[in-house]
Amino acid sequence: MSATGTIIQTYESLKKAAVGKVEALKQKPLVLVGTATCGRAAGALNVLQTFRNEISCRNLDVEVKEVGCIGHCYAEPVVIIAKPGFPALCYGSVDEGMAGRLVVDFLINDDPCYEFAMAALEPNDQFPTFADFPRGVYEKKIILADCGLIDPEDIDHYLAHDGYAALAKALTMDPAEVLEEIKNSKLRGRGGAGFPTGLKWEACRNASGNQKYVICNADEGDPGAFMDRAILESNPHQVLEGLIIAAYTVGAGQGYIYVRAEYPLAVARIRTALEQAREKRLLGESILGSNFNFDIKIFQGSGAFVCGEETSLIASIEGFAGVPNHRPPYPAQAGLHRKPTVINNVKTLSYVPHIIRNGSGWFKSIGTPDSPGTAVFALAGKVVSTGLAEVPMGTTLRTLVYDVGNGIKEDKPFKAVQIGGPSGGCLPESALDLSIDFDSLQQAGAMMGSGGLVVLDEDDCMVEIARFFLDFTQKESCGKCTFCRLGTKQMLDILTEITEGRGKPEDIDLLWELAEDIKAGSLCGLGKTAPNPVLTTIRYFRHEYEAHIQEGRCPALMCKELISYAIIPEKCSKLCNVCIGSCPVEAIYTRDDMLKAIYLDKCVKCNSCMVACPPQYKAVVKVSPPIVEKGGS
Amino acid sequence: MELQGGEAEMIYAEVEGVLQRHGLEREKLIPILQDVQSKLGYLPKEAMQQISEALRIPEVDVYSVGTFYNQFRLNPPGKHQIKVCMGTACHMMGGHIILESFERRLGIKEGETTPDREFSLERVACVGCCALAPVVVVDEKVEAKVSPIRVDGILLAFEIESKKSGEIEKLVEEEGRTQ
Ligand SMILES: Cc1cc2nc3c(=O)[nH]c(=O)nc-3n(C[C@H](O)[C@H](O)[C@H](O)COP(=O)(O)O)c2cc1C
Ligand code: SF4
Ligand code: SF4
Ligand code: FES
Ligand code: FES
C-alpha cells in the first residue's frame, strides 16, 4: 500500500473507534462540569462531587465528565446536561444545591429546570440557543469552538470532532504544499506582533541544517489575559496538532511547549494529552505510519514576563537567565541551540488544523483582508459578561464591549478599554468604533497584544492604571538595557508622585520625553512597548493627570492619598451600625447624636464600610481632594 | 540562614535524587531548580552549591538563574502560602486593598513570612481567573472575589484549624498520660 494510503487508513481507524466511543456516550444522560481553573475558583469541584455522589447513591446510569471552559466565566461554575430526548442544556452559576435539584428533577424526573438554564447547545423547539443572544450572533468560534464541550483528558473526544484529520491530510501532502496553504491563508501570529506565520515557517524551512525545532509559546505573561490557559486546559490536542503540522512543514524533529508554571492545571492536561497522542502514534516515531518522526517536551517557565520574548524564551530553555538577545539572526535562522527554530503562540498554532482542514480560502473569508480569521479576547474588568470571546477580526470594540460583553456593570458610564496588556494602551470612548485588527489598534497607539481586554469605568483612575503597568514592566525589565532599566524606574517614580499628590506641572512633558527615549533605546519588545500605557493615557486622558497635579484630586476617587472616606449625616440611618462592624481598624464611631463618623487618622481606606453600608442608605462616600482635619479634634 | 540538625543531610539527599532523575546537562538547570524547590519549598544555598558542582557550572550561574526568575525563593516559605493576584483585572477590582488587608492582619509586608513561620505573603501576576477578580491563591486553592471581610474569614479558618489540631494534640497527650 502507498504511504498515503497507510496514513489515511491509520487515521480512519483511530477516528472510527473514537466516534464509536463518543456515540455510545450519547445513548445515556451525560453531565459535563467545567473544571478549568476559573470554574474551580468558583467552586466547580464541589459541584462535580455533588453530581457524582447524588448519581451514585441513587444508582443512576449517568456519565459525569470534566470539561474545560466554554468562555462564560461570569456564570461559573457552568454545567452542561445532555439527556436523550432533550436538547443539551447549559446551566450557569450552579451550586451544590442546584446540582442536587438537577439530578432529581431532570435526570430522574424529566423536568429540565428551564428556569435555571442559560441556553441550549443546538437548535430545538423548546429553548433558545447561544446563537439567539447578541453574544452568539457576534461571536464566531473557530479555536474556541470545542472548548468546554469535549473532554480535554480524552483524546477520543478530539478525534471524534475531526481532531487530527488535518494532520493526516498534511502528512499526505508535500511539506511545501502545506507551507503554501498557510502562506495563502495570511495567518498572522496571535502572540502580539501579528507577524505572518507562513513567512516565519518559510524562513525556518529554507534555513540550512537538518536539526530544527518548533516551540509553542504558552508563557502568557500579560497580567490580564487568560486565553492561552483556557485553550490549553480545554482543548490541548488542538494545539499539539498545530505544532506537529508546523514541525512537519519546517522539518523539525523536536518540539517544546513553553508554559507558565503558574498554570499547573494546563501543564497537567498537556502532559496527559502528550501521553495519549504517543499511545495512538500521533506523536513519536513514524507518525500515523508515515516516515515523519517528531516528539514534544514540556518546559515550565518560571514567572518572568520577558521570557515570552522569543530570544529570552530560548535562553530560558537552554538553562540561562531569560535575557533577550539581538535579532537578527532571527530564531527562524538560528534559535534554540543555534538551530533554526519556529516559535508560535498557542492561538496561532490552534488555527493551523482548521486552515489545513478547511482551506486557506475559507480562513480568508473571515475577518478583514489584512487580518483574516478571528480574534480571541479575555474580557475582564467592569464588563457584565466577563470571559472568553472569539469574534471575527474587524468587529468594533463597541460590539465587543456592549453586545458580546453585555455592557458595563451597574450601567455605569464607559471610560476606557485597556487592550494589549503592558505593551498596549488605554483607548477612550471615541475609539469604540475602531475595528479590531492588528493595524488599526497599532495606529491608535495600542496593540492587539495577546488579547487581554480590561474594561474600565468611571471608578478607574487612568493615572493609576498607567502607574500599575509601569510598576509591572519596571519589575520585569531584565535590566540589560539602561533605558529600559532606569527609564521605566524614573517614569514609575514620577507616576507614583502624581498619584500621591506630589506631581509637578512639568511632569507630563517629562514623562513624554522619557517614553520616547525608552522606546528608542531598548533592545526588546518589553522596553520598546513599556511606555504605551503612559503615552495613551496622556494622549486620551490628559485632564486626569492635570486634576491630580493641579488640584490634588483624583477624578475616579481611586488614588488613596487623594481621597477621604466620609459618612453623609443626612443619609446615615443612625440605627444600623453595619459600618462599625465592617471596619477592620475601629475607625468608625457613633457620635452623641447617634450619627456615625470616621476618625480620618485611623482610617486605612479599605473600602469595607462603603461596601457594607446598606443600599437603601448609601451613606458612605469618598471625597477628593481629601478632607484635611483641622488641628485638634 | 542556619540549618538545623539533620537539615543539611536531608537537603543533600533530596537534591541528589532530583539530579539523578534529570541528568546533568545545562538544559536541565531550571527543571532541576523547580523540582528542588517543590521538594524543599525553597532553594537553600547548599542545594545551589551542590547543583553547581554536579552540573559543572559556576555557582554564580546557578545563583543568577535562581534570582532572575520570580518563581524561585531563597528563603523557606511559611506553612501556609498566601498569594494575592496583582494582575490587571485584580488590581483594578481592588487587589491592592486585599493585599493591604493581609499585610495588616498578618503584620508583615508582601514577600515576607510571619515570625512563627505560619504564613508567607506574596504577590503573583494573574493566575488566569481574571473574570473572578480579585483573586487570592491560598495554598494552591483559588479564592474568588475576595473582600477585606473574606480576608479575615480565610485567616480565621486557619486559626480555628490550628487551635483544633492543638486541642487534639493536647487530648492525645492527656490520654497518653492517663494510660
Ligand atoms: C516582553 C514580551 C513578552 C511576550 N510575551 C509573549 C507571550 O506571553 N506569549 C506569546 O505568545 N508571545 C509573547 N511575546 C511575543 C513573542 O516574542 C513572539 O513574537 C510570539 O511568540 C511569536 O508567535 P506568533 O508569531 O504566533 O505570534 C512577547 C514578546 C515580548 C517582547
Ligand atoms: S528592553 Fe528591557 S527587558 Fe528588553 S532586553 Fe532591554 S532591558 Fe531587557
Ligand atoms: S474605609 Fe475601611 S478603615 Fe476607613 S472607615 Fe471605612 S471600613 Fe474603616
Ligand atoms: S469560563 Fe473558564 S476560563 Fe472562564
Ligand atoms: S488579574 Fe488576577 S487572575 Fe488575572
A28 and A117 housed in the same domain: yes
Cβ contact (<8 Å) for B92 and A222? no
- Least Cα distance to A149 among A238, A228, A217 occurs for A238
- At A632, the pLDDT band (50, 70, 90 cuts) reads very low
Q: Assess if residue A599 is contained within a domain.
A: yes
- Ramachandran assignment for B111, one of left (phi > 0), alpha (psi -120 to 50 degrees), beta (any other): left
> Mean pLDDT over residues B11-27, rounded?
94
CATH code (residue A603): 3.30.70.20
Q: Name chain B contacts of A582, Cβ cutoff 8 Å.
A: 149
* CA-based nearest distance B13→chain A, Å: 23
pTM for the whole structure: 0.93
Report d(CA B57, CA B29) in Å as an integer.
10
Q: Name chain B contacts of A222, Cβ cutoff 8 Å.
A: 88, 126
Average pLDDT of the residues of chain B? 88
- At B175, the pLDDT band (50, 70, 90 cuts) reads low
Q: Assess if residue B61 is contained within a domain.
A: yes
CATH code (residue A33): 3.40.30.10
Q: Name chain A contacts of B133, Cβ cutoff 8 Å.
A: 380-381
A356 and A378 housed in the same domain: no
Q: Assess if residue A6 is contained within a domain.
A: no
Q: Name chain B contacts of A465, Cβ cutoff 8 Å.
A: 88, 92
> Mean pLDDT over residues A15-41, rounded?
93
B168 and B106 housed in the same domain: yes
Q: Name chain B contacts of A469, Cβ cutoff 8 Å.
A: 88
- Least Cα distance to A606 among B150, B130, B137, B82 occurs for B150
- At B6, the pLDDT band (50, 70, 90 cuts) reads confident
A119 and A26 housed in the same domain: yes
Q: Assess if residue B73 is contained within a domain.
A: no
Residues 6+ apart with CB under 8 A from B82: B102, B119, B120, B121, B122, B136, B137, B138, B154
A274 and A191 housed in the same domain: yes
B21 and B97 housed in the same domain: no
Instruction: Name the CA radius of gyration of chain A, rounded.
Output: 27
Q: Assess if residue B107 is contained within a domain.
A: yes
* CA-based nearest distance A54→chain B, Å: 25
Q: In the A/B pair of chains, how many CB contacts fall below 8 A?
A: 153
Report the separation in Å between the CA atom of A232 and the middle of ligand 5, taken as the mean of its atom positions.
Answer: 17
Residue A223 has pLDDT above 90, yes or no: no
Which residues, numbered 42 to 71 in chain B, qualify as contacts with chain A under a Cβ-Cβ cut-off of 8 Å? Answer: 61, 64-65, 68-71
- State whether the beta carbon of A498 lies less than 6 angstroms from ligand 3: no
Instruction: Name the CA radius of gyration of chain B, rounded.
Output: 20
B172 and B84 housed in the same domain: yes
> Mean pLDDT over residues A154-180, rounded?
98
Q: Are A455 and A383 in contact (CB under 8 A)?
A: yes
A176 and A314 housed in the same domain: yes
* CA-based nearest distance B115→chain A, Å: 22
CB nearest to A607's CB, from B91, B97, B152 = B97
How many structural domains compose chain B? 2
> Mean pLDDT over residues A132-148, rounded?
94
* A375 beta partners: A391
Check if B76 contacts A (Cβ < 8 Å).
no
Q: What is the DSSP string of A120-176?
A: ESS--SSS-BGGGSHHHHH---STTTTTTTS-TT-HHHHHHTTTTHHHHHHHTS-HH
Residue A140 has pLDDT above 90, yes or no: yes
Q: Assess if residue B75 is contained within a domain.
A: no
Q: Are B137 and B83 in contact (CB under 8 A)?
A: yes
Model pLDDT for residues A407-464, shown as the tens digit of each residue: 999 999 999 999 988 989 999 999 999 999 999 988 888 888 778 899 999 999 999 9
B86 and B146 housed in the same domain: yes
* CA-based nearest distance A364→chain B, Å: 31
Q: Assess if residue A138 is contained within a domain.
A: no
Report the separation in Å between the CA atom of B95 and the middle of ligand 5, taken as the mean of its atom positions.
Answer: 9
B86 and B161 housed in the same domain: yes
Among A8-12, A153-157, A626-630, which stretch is predicted with the lowest mean pLDDT? A626-630
Average pLDDT of the residues of chain A? 94
> Mean pLDDT over residues A65-90, rounded?
94
Looking at residue B5, its amino acid is G
B63 and B84 housed in the same domain: no
**HSE-CB of A616 using CA atoms within 13 angstroms:** 4
Q: Count, in order, helices (H) and strands (E) of chain B.
A: 7, 4
Q: Which of B42, B68, B94 finishes a domain?
A: B68
CATH code (residue B156): 3.40.30.10
How many structural domains compose chain A? 5
DSSP H or E stretch at residue A30? strand A30-34
Q: Are A565 and A609 in contact (CB under 8 A)?
A: yes
A181 and A276 housed in the same domain: yes
Check if B87 contacts A (Cβ < 8 Å).
yes
Q: Are A348 and A342 in contact (CB under 8 A)?
A: no
Model pLDDT for residues A225-281, shown as the tens digit of each residue: 889 999 999 999 999 999 999 999 999 999 999 998 888 899 999 999 999 999 999
Q: What is the DSSP string of A287-316?
A: GGGSS--BEEEEEEE-S-GGGGSHHHHHHH
Report d(CA A136, CA A107) in Å as an integer.
27
B88 and B138 housed in the same domain: yes
User: What local confidence, expressed as pLDDT, does residue B133 receive?
Assistant: 87
Q: Assess if residue B84 is contained within a domain.
A: yes
- State whether the beta carbon of B126 lies less than 6 angstroms from ligand 5: yes
SS3 of A7, please? helix
Report d(CA A486, CA A202) in Å as an integer.
38
- State whether the beta carbon of A264 lies less than 6 angstroms from ligand 2: no
> Mean pLDDT over residues B141-158, rounded?
90
A323, A472, A478, A482: residue to mutate for ligand 2 pocket, most atoms within 8 A of CB? A478
> Mean pLDDT over residues B90-102, rounded?
91
Residue B37 has pLDDT above 60, yes or no: yes
Residue A633 has pLDDT above 50, yes or no: no
Domain extent at residue A443: 374-457
B62 and B85 housed in the same domain: no
A39 and A120 housed in the same domain: yes
Query: Apex CA A383: angle with CA A381 and CA A389, to 5°?
Result: 95
Domain extent at residue B14: 7-68
Atom of ligand 4 nearest to the CA of A39: 2
Q: Which of B48, B68, B88 finishes a domain?
A: B68
Model pLDDT for residues A104-122, shown as the tens digit of each residue: 999 999 999 999 999 999 8
A104 and A33 housed in the same domain: yes
B98 and B151 housed in the same domain: yes
What's the burial of A357, exposed, middle or buried (CB within 10 Å: 0-12/13-18/19+)?
middle
Q: Assess if residue A494 is contained within a domain.
A: yes
Q: Which of B19, B44, B68 finishes a domain?
A: B68
Report d(CA B148, CA B97) in Å as an integer.
7
B108 and B150 housed in the same domain: yes
B105 and B62 housed in the same domain: no
- Least Cα distance to A293 among A311, A281, A310, A306 occurs for A281
Sign of the CA dihedral with A205 first, then A210, A213, and A214 last: positive
A216 and A236 housed in the same domain: yes
- At B176, the pLDDT band (50, 70, 90 cuts) reads low
Among A132-136, A317-321, A350-354, B27-31, which stretch is predicted with the lowest mean pLDDT? A132-136
A324 and A436 housed in the same domain: no
